[in-house]
Amino acid sequence: MKRSEAASTTFAEVAVDAGPAAGSLGQPSRQGRFAALTLPILLPLLVYYLWLSLDSNGGAAIIPRSGAELISLVRNIPTPTPFAAVMFIAWFSFQAALQALLPGRRVVAPMASNPGGLEYRLNGWLAWWTTWACFSALVAFGWLSPTLLADNFGALLSTANIVAFALSVYLVWRTRHKAQWRSRGVDRFFMGSELNPRIGDFDLKLFLEARPGLIGWCVLDVSLLAKQYELNGAVSASMLLVVAFQVFYVADYFFHEEAILSTWDIKHERLGWMLCWGDLVWVPFVYSLQAVYLLHHPVALSPLAIVGLMVLNSAGYVTFRMANLQKLRFRQDPSAPIWGRPPEIIKTPSGNPLLASGCWGMSRHLNYFGDLLMGLAWCLACGFDQPLVYFYIVFFTLLLVHRERRDDAHCAGAYGTAWEAYRRRVPWRIVPWVY
Ligand code: NDP
């Protein structure tokens, strides 16, 4: 069974104690309930705040100094327009059609929701290229302005919020007859009920995790790049680097699409507001904020800085990809050599051995370290004028530190003394010799 990375996010997990292993039925803690009540209000406001600061306040954090300034900030929250709604629904339907109709390799993956395994048709790589082919054709024929998304960023953001909330309500409604979920109150909306909900054989979580949001992030990035060209007649090196790094990151995700089937999100996280909103709003509209900033604030990078950023991003990518591939191959064939040598194995009672050499012998999540290096390169490309452009790396560090602890607790429960032996053998959580 392949296993690797999710480029999607469970952003809100930073603030949430989801209780026992997230997919299970334990009652949510008080902290979890508090998060479920507050985050669906606070997080959308945070995204608006970040966007307004980076887009229209010179990239500086807006600090309202009076009630009037606060009201004016709130008034700047864009309303969804009918045009943005049409665009969003067209995009959403197009991506859904690609997932439903394009051919793809069929893979059966073991899932807690279905011990016999769930079948997935993996056509993400084809959907990725089909999207770009259609996008390029529409632009080439003059039927679509490449800056359309950049021009409607705010209205699209508001529309995406509404769709994410509506979908979360639909997910609650789907399980209205199931008593075990009704008892969970607001947590049922926030964390969701079902692990792998489907309509027919259309897997909702696989779709939301990757298609509209993740590809949407890249399409937004490219539109912002086109906008910079329209405004300045040139594209800055910083914008080019950020967009190229991020598009490559997502393309790589689709190239290794099968890997998502064994990620925490797909296997253990229920589908509720947290994932829906994260996938449809947080990923496309927060991960593209570097490009939003660079649109009006092109950063001049010296040749040395460009090379440095490319080296940092490449080092991060190689670390991230190598670690994920090593685990993936190990899960498929536990005897396959790691760096030319027999793998160091820790046997577990469940029969699922642990890899304790190669990247997995350096730290218990070297893949997270690689991901963080890439995120750092994206932020550094925005220069040092505005601290807010570093929001992504700060948030992402918190997310992965928290996620590592959640995963550690999960593995300690699943593997018992074998996990303790692994912890002794590999004491570093994420960064070798540091943390
Ligand atoms: P991992 O892919 O690291 O998976 C952790 C799981 O791997 C454990 O639950 C366990 O699962 C298995 N495992 C752990 N240690 C070992 C070992 N030594 N040998 C064999 N198996 C082991 O975690 P995630 O799913 O959280 O993340 C996947 C990727 O997604 C990462 O690269 C991360 O950086 C990226 N990511 C990106 C985000 C973004 O927003 N861009 C957000 C979150 C993650 P089991 O027991 O089932 O085998």
Kindly report, residue by residue over 63-113, the tens digit of the pLDDT: 999 999 999 999 999 999 999 999 999 999 999 999 999 999 999 887 877
Ligand 1 center to 106 CA (angstroms): 22
Predicted local confidence at residue 29, as pLDDT: 78
Q: Which of 206, 148, 197 is nearest to 174 (CA)?
A: 197
Q: Which residues of the chain have pLDDT under 50?
A: 1-24
Report residue 325 as tokens.
């591939």
Predicted local confidence at residue 14, as pLDDT: 45
Predicted local confidence at residue 9, as pLDDT: 46
Predicted local confidence at residue 4, as pLDDT: 35
Predicted local confidence at residue 176, as pLDDT: 84
Predicted local confidence at residue 116, as pLDDT: 80
Predicted local confidence at residue 351, as pLDDT: 79
Tell which one of 4, 217, 245, 264 to mutate to probe ligand 1, the residue whose CB is within 8 A of the most ligand atoms. 264
Ligand 1 center to 4 CA (angstroms): 6
Pick the atom of ligand 1 nearest to 330's CA: 20
Q: DSSP per residue over 367-430, as a string?
A: HHHHHHHHHHHHHHTT-SS-GGGGHHHHHHHHHHHHHHHHHHHHHHHHHTHHHHHHHHH---SS
Tell which one of 360, 371, 376, 402 to mutate to probe ligand 1, the residue whose CB is within 8 A of the most ligand atoms. 371
Q: DSSP per residue over 202-266, as a string?
A: EEHHHHHHHIIIIIHHHHHHHHHHHHHHHHHSS--HHHHHHHHHHHHHHHHHHHTGGGGGGSHHH
Pick the atom of ligand 1 nearest to 320's CA: 32
SS3 state of residue 4: coil
Average pLDDT, the chain: 90
Report residue 418 as tokens.
């074998």
Q: Which of 95, 121, 313 is nearest to 215 (CA)?
A: 95
Model pLDDT for residues 261-302, shown as the tens digit of each residue: 878 888 888 999 999 999 999 999 999 999 999 999 989 999
Ligand 1 center to 3 CA (angstroms): 8
Compute φ and ψ for 202, nearest 5 degrees: -85, 115
pTM over the 0.85 mark: yes
